[in-house]
Amino acid sequence: MNEKIGYYAFMIGVVLALIVGIFADMLGTMGIDVSLLPLVLVVLGLIVGILNIGDKEINNFLIAVIAIAVVGSADLSTIPMFGIYLQSIVSYLAIFVAPAALVVALKAIYNLGSTPRTM
C-alpha cells in the first residue's frame, strides 16, 4: 500500500510541476489561484522522500536532485520562445524534490552515523 501512495505522490507531483510550469501565466490570467501549489508540492515531496526512496536509491536520488538544482540555477528564460516555460517547470520540480531530498539526506546521515566503523 505504501508503494502505491508513494508512486501516486511522485506522479502527481511531477505532473503538477509540469502543468503549472507550462500554464502558470495562463492560469493566472484565468483567475485560477496557484499560490497553494508550492505547499502541495512540498507535502507530496515529503511523502515521496519518506515512502519511495530506499537505502539503495539514496545516492542516485541525491545526485538527481543536485542536477535539478544546477539546472534551476541557470537562467533558462533567456532561451528564445520556450525558455520561460523551462525555467518555470524546473522551479516547480525543484520545489517538489527539495523536501524529498531533505528527508533522504537525513536518512543518509542517520545511516552513516548509526553504522559502527571497524578499524
pLDDT digits (tens, 9 = 90+) for 25-76: 777 777 777 788 899 999 999 999 999 888 888 999 999 999 998 998 888 8
pLDDT digits (tens, 9 = 90+) for 78-114: 888 888 888 989 999 999 999 999 999 999 999 888 8
Q: Are 90 and 71 in contact (CB under 8 A)?
A: yes
The candidate with the shortest Cα–Cα distance to 100, out of 69, 72, 70, is 69
- Cα radius of gyration (the chain): 17
Q: Are 103 and 62 in contact (CB under 8 A)?
A: no
Q: Which three cell numbers stand for residue 115?
A: 553504522
Instruction: Report helix angle 37-51 to 2-29, nearest 10.
Output: 160
